[in-house]
Amino acid sequence: MFRTFFYLLLLIPLAALLPAAEGQSDGADPALNTPFAGEGATGAVAVTTPHAPPSSFFQRLLKAYADDWKPAPSSDPPPPPFRSTPSPVDGPPFPFSDWPYGGSVVITKPWTQSAPLMKTIWGDSEGEGWKKSGVQIYGWLNVGFNVSTSDKQGYANSPAAYAEKPNSIQPDQEVLYIERQPDTVQTDHFDWGFRVASLYGLDYRFTTAKGVFSEQLLKHDREYGYDPVMVYADLYFPHVAQGMDVRIGRYISLPDIEAQLAPNNYTYTHSLTYTYDCYTQSGINTTTKLNDHWMFQAGLSAGCEAVPWTRPDAKPTFNTCLGYTWKEGGDNLYLCANSINDGKYAYNNLAAYYLTWYHKMNGSWHTATESWYQYESQTPNVLNPAASSLIETNANGAVCATATQLTCFAPEWAVVNYVEKEFSKHDYLTIRNEIMDDLRGQRTGFKTKYTEHTVGWGHWVGTTVLFRPELRFERSYDVPAYDNGTKKNQLMLAGDVIYFF
């Protein structure tokens, strides 16, 4: 039922092409010049129209798409007011314009998106009330495909993600946001915001937190499911340093090259690095912009993929991050201890430490590099039958050094690098290379080293449709890990389309 509903929704806005097909191209409307769902997307926004909008809701919706797909204007509008350094890259085509960090809005930059649904609502008689409230409703439909050298049943492309079902077309994530972001440009008053993000699709298998509709996966192993992946409030205090944001609720974990949902990642598939780390946490996190160079974060949560009422998996877990930016925003180092507790085996109870470096080489090239080390201690030994009762559903045990051990220490490390080239506001190239060593097989289920190499392309139609084809090759070195543990190599042609509303 859900899949049929979303496929029907995909067809509705296509009618917008009919009255405006002649001379139409994939140019951008300056009123829609940012990817939606970013942690504080920035850019110019126009919320007025040069003439009275059509009276019908669907007429206004179709016009919003038609306007978005018209040729781009000859020059960009001036940027809206902001504090701090200018944004280092263009978003779009990239999934962000400021180097991303998790757990907060982008402090000192405005939130300026205006998706077709909101432009349609703003054109109604109640539109001014919506604008003044700052609340927006938006989202996307995301469908992906892959053709792979793995061909066995089930999720045979794994450990690759999120295209884990080989040779198929999948509704990956169909997402609805209800959101308000605080104004962090102003410095004279307290402000607030919130986000409720609902996800349905195959990708819920990666976002599920134990204790939040988790029976879909942990008890019934349903292929598609629903997850309220983000539910939080933001409290903004402008008089603390250059601004402090306090986030309370369930939020995506802090390290953030590709930790966000589909539109906020360079590519359709994810690196191994970002497939097997912490996805969401539930708690409180503070982000303080100390000055133009330094940012400090600290928080307390119930741990990775656990909520406070889930016992014994929920544990008091601290996090802290420090960011430093230099070269007028062109370089950024982001050091995070994302989850600090005993690291004792539970449902994804990772102790995890990250270092990320963003570097702008020139006006069209930049890189993003991340390394991490993470572990779980006292992990049940899959070689010892006596330990089988200790293993939790959807939480792998470890391949310990000997069969006599009941549990063991299970670490892993990884490094991923992105090289990005902007060709226009509509096109960009991605080159991704990574190495990961799952030293005890606890993350992927296989005790082995991996390398992964991807070349991808991103192409925008206006700012409301994004195509991301890619070619990916990966290898496991010590044991076969692909095609249900029968192959060491895997080649995959994959891609997706994201349709924003």
Give the chain's domains with CATH numbers.
2-500 (2.40.160.10)
pTM: 0.87
**Between 53 and 67, residue with greater pLDDT:** 67
3-state SS class at 277: coil
Quickly state the pLDDT bin for 43 (edges 50, 70, 90): very low
181-209: b (≥16 Cβ within 10 Å) or e? bbbbbeeeeebebbbbbbbbbbbbbbbbb
pLDDT band at 255 (very low <50, low <70, confident <90, very high): confident
| Residue that the structure tokens 């601290």 belong to | 318
- Phi/psi of residue 4, nearest 5 degrees: -60, -45
- For residue 218, pLDDT beyond 70: yes
Residue 52 has what pLDDT? 56
Looking at the chain, the whole-number percentage of residues with pLDDT higher than 70 is 89
pLDDT tens, position by position, 231-249: 999 999 999 999 999 999 9
Amino acid in position 137 = I
Q: Give CA–CA dist 374/16, Å, rounded.
A: 48
The predicted structure's pLDDT at residue 301? 96
What are the CA-CA distances from residue 294 to residues 151, 243, 326, 491 (Å)? 49, 12, 9, 42
Confidence at residue 74, expressed as pLDDT on a 0 to 100 scale = 66
Structure tokens, 5: 């509903």
Alpha-helical segments (H) within 69-112? none
Rounded-to-integer distance, Cα 280 and Cα 319, Å: 13
Give residue 256's pLDDT: 79
d(CA 476, CA 160) in angstroms, rounded, equals 11
Mean pLDDT of the chain: 89
pLDDT the model gives residue 30: 28
Mean pLDDT score, 411-438: 97
pLDDT band at 51 (very low <50, low <70, confident <90, very high): low
Q: What are the pLDDT digits (tens) for 174-211? A: 999 999 999 999 999 999 999 999 999 999 999 999 99
What is the mean predicted confidence (pLDDT) over 298-323? 94
The pLDDT of residue 85? 87
Quickly tell me which residue has 């409030």 as its tokens.
Answer: 233
**What residue type is 371 in one-letter code?**
S
Q: For residues 452 and 139, what is the distance between their CA atoms, to the nearest angstrom? A: 30
**Position 368 pLDDT exceeds 60:** yes
* pLDDT level of residue 26 (50, 70, 90 thresholds): very low
* More confident position, 39 or 360: 360
Cβ(150)–Cβ(490) under 8 Å? yes
Asked if residue 4 has pLDDT above 60, the reply is no
Query: What is the DSSP-derived secondary structure letter of residue 260?
Result: S
pLDDT digits (tens, 9 = 90+) for 97-145: 999 999 999 999 999 888 999 999 998 888 888 899 999 999 999 999 9
